[in-house]
Amino acid sequence: MAANNIIHETTIYAEPVFHIGSFQITNSLLNSWLAVLVIIVFCVVLRLRLKQIPGKIQHIFEILLEGALSLCDQVTNDRKITLKICPIVLSLFIFILINNWFGLLPFVGSIGYLESIAGRSVFVPIFRAGTADINTTLALSIAIVIASNIFGIITIGVWKIFNKYVNIKVLADSVTKFRADKNVIIVAPISFFVGILELIGEMAKVASLSFRLFGNVFAGEVLLASMGAIFLYLLPAPFLFLEVFIGLIQALIFSLLAAVYFTIAAQDHQEHEEKH
């Protein structure tokens, strides 16, 4: 078949590569597995080379780790909370960063096979940046929102987390405080409605986290593909370096927002209001 009949385009969805039974393996999933494998190998090698007196490489990583803890401290304002959430946040940052940067490697998007669809030959890449797939970013966002609420339950208790969304306590208190303060009949329903808004806000977090990361990474893929098709060599280079920087920034933003959500979930708002 002639080469000009071959279609090679960046799709908004991840293409299936093969199946394991009824389970569909997509090119973005393969890329995510490759990122996890790289992280595992790197961590094992680093662990085996740890020494009591650090060498240059170990010293560099210790500085980076201390920098990550300090950055997390600026969000939590509490080193105890930082030590609890930093392993999750830092792992999330590394996973997203590697996935973002893997999408810029030469073999990602260029190695694949031809598949006949509706009489046309369509090029399907074997690898694609995991964060350029909405399913990956959506799964990460849902996991972070659920994990932050579980962290809140462990930290301040299930009853306070439940009342954060379904504020039964404020309705019960309105009955006992009605004689002393008639305004409570207006304030109580408003406070209860705020809890419903908090629940809606949790869903909004999922959409905000997932679409921000997906949109920036996917837009970068489209930009590089377009510039590469128009200008083959020199012009795409600045955009490539720009995407390296954007990949770092997006991983940092996602991780810091996750740290913020964990910190908010660990705060006892009811105790603060009672003191106030």
pLDDT digits (tens, 9 = 90+) for 96-112: 999 888 877 777 766 76
pLDDT for the residue 276: 45
Residues of the chain with pLDDT under 70: 1-11, 109-110, 112-113, 115-120, 169-189, 225, 227-237, 269-276
- Degrees (nearest 5) of the Cα angle 105, 107, 108? 70
Residue 130 near residue 99 (C-beta atoms within 8 A): yes
pTM assigned to the model = 0.81
pLDDT for the residue 40: 93
Chain center to CA of 32: 13
Sign of CA dihedral 227, 214, 263, 192: positive
Chain center to CA of 196: 25
Q: What's the rounded Cα separation, in Å, for the pair 173 and 191?
A: 11
pLDDT for the residue 21: 81
Mean pLDDT of the chain: 79
pLDDT for the residue 257: 92
Distances (CA, A) of 97 to 114, 211, 249, 251: 30, 16, 9, 5
pLDDT for the residue 3: 46
